[in-house]
Amino acid sequence: MSTQNSSAENSTTSLVNNVDELVINWHITEACNYNCCYCFAKWGKPNELHCSLPEIETFLDNLSEYFIKGSPPLKNELGYESVRLNFAGGEPMMLGSTFFIALMLAKQKGFKTSIITNGHYLINGHLDLPKNVLDMVGISFDSQYLSTRKKIGRVDRKGNSLSVEDLKTALGNLVSTQKGIKTKINTVVNIHNCDEDFSELITVLKPYKWKVLQAMPYGDDELLISRKKFDNFVAAHSGMGLPIFAESNSTMTESYLMIDPKGRFYQNSSKGAGYEYSEGINLCGVENALAQIEFNPIAFSSRYRKVDVDVDVVES
């Protein structure tokens, strides 16, 4: 390696903040009981990896061998000590026992685990979540008002929607059954909720994080808001000691390590709407698949700052 290249690499590395854990987002299924208008998790109902238990186990082994047991360049760049596999969707809990098996296998193979859920099955599920299998939970909650949630599409076919009281109950149950769990609220800011005041609710819930995200241009364009409106929403909730983490459209590009339901890395295209995909991880291996998509360690590390509830944390 030339001196010039070494200097460039060292300069890039110096811009990366060390993180405690690497977070891999596995969108395990496209299926969902809600129909959120801004949803980007649409892959045309593919042959999802979770349909085969052996495929799930091979997939988790591949990820574990590379990211946990191995010494990949990302470990040197980010300095992570643990790897968290974040189950997302769609709605992961729609898979019932299949999801629980995948969750327990991930724990057995050394991953920390988390889930992003709309919360419906935490209240209305036919199966109880196994104890002590989750390290973090993120519940998506976009409005305190049913009328607004209906406009966004956060209701099922019967008109059911997670209410404020349901949200409080779900979080309470999780804290009592999942030892040491960290709780997070995700709010997608769009045209229907950009003027809503969440400060009292977040103060009462006391989540570890409150992540507010600007609606991305992958669903209904009528829900999109300008960067100025998004910044106004963030500013309106700042200075109150809320653990707020804000992510605009530009912040999200190439800053997430994401896997689709077929077991492929994918990334938001920097050239506009749409995705770029790798080959299947079980087919070509993690290293080869990862090399086929763009991932920015600097952008990733900037999203994982220490949380201090006495200081507003706003990422742009």
**Given this model, what pLDDT does residue 2 score?**
35
> Residue 50: which domain range?
16-302
- Rounded Cα–Cα distance for residues 274 and 289 (Å): 18
Answer whether residue 7 is part of any domain. no
**Given this model, what pLDDT does residue 7 score?**
39
Answer whether residue 2 is part of any domain. no
Rg (CA), the chain: 19
170 Cα distance to chain centroid: 18
**Given this model, what pLDDT does residue 251 score?**
64
Answer whether residue 131 is part of any domain. yes
**Given this model, what pLDDT does residue 308 score?**
40
- Rounded Cα–Cα distance for residues 155 and 33 (Å): 8
pLDDT digit string (tens) for the chain, length 316 residues = 333 343 334 444 456 678 899 999 999 999 999 999 988 777 777 789 999 999 999 999 999 999 999 999 999 999 999 999 999 999 999 999 999 999 999 999 999 999 999 999 999 988 899 999 999 999 999 999 999 999 999 999 999 999 999 999 999 999 999 999 999 999 999 999 999 999 999 999 999 999 999 998 765 688 999 999 999 999 999 999 999 999 887 666 667 899 999 999 998 766 656 788 999 999 999 999 999 998 888 878 876 654 444 333 333 3
- Rounded Cα–Cα distance for residues 306 and 287 (Å): 29
**Given this model, what pLDDT does residue 201 score?**
98
Complete edge-to-edge strand list for the sheet that includes strand 136-140: 244-247, 209-214, 182-189, 136-140, 112-117, 82-88, 21-27, 257-259, 264-268, 275-280
**Given this model, what pLDDT does residue 63 score?**
98
Answer whether residue 265 is part of any domain. yes
Answer whether residue 292 is part of any domain. yes
Dihedral of the CA atoms 300, 302, 308, 314 (nearest 10)?
A: -110
Helix (H, G, I), strand (E, B) or coil at 83: strand
pLDDT digits 0-9 by tens, 52-89: 999 999 999 999 999 999 999 999 999 999 999 999 99
**Contact (CB, 8 A) for 286 and 62:** yes
- Rounded Cα–Cα distance for residues 242 and 200 (Å): 10
Answer whether residue 95 is part of any domain. yes
Number of domains in the chain: 1
**Given this model, what pLDDT does residue 167 score?**
98
pLDDT digits 0-9 by tens, 207-219: 999 999 999 876 5
**Given this model, what pLDDT does residue 315 score?**
37
**Given this model, what pLDDT does residue 290 score?**
96
Helix (H, G, I), strand (E, B) or coil at 58: helix
pLDDT digits 0-9 by tens, 83-126: 999 999 999 999 999 999 999 999 999 999 999 999 999 999 88
- Rounded Cα–Cα distance for residues 122 and 128 (Å): 8
Q: Which of 213, 282, 305, 307 is nearest to 18 (CA)?
A: 305
Q: pTM here?
A: 0.88
Listed in sequence order, the residues at least 6 apart from 190 whose beta carbon sits closer than 8 Å to its beta carbon are 38, 142, 152, 215, 223, 224, 225
Q: Which of 125, 122, 211 is nearest to 174 (CA)?
A: 122
Answer whether residue 314 is part of any domain. no
Answer whether residue 113 is part of any domain. yes
CB atoms near residue 70 (< 10 Å)? 12
- Rounded Cα–Cα distance for residues 8 and 137 (Å): 38
CATH code, domain with 202: 3.20.20.70
Q: How far apart are the first and last CA of the chain?
A: 35
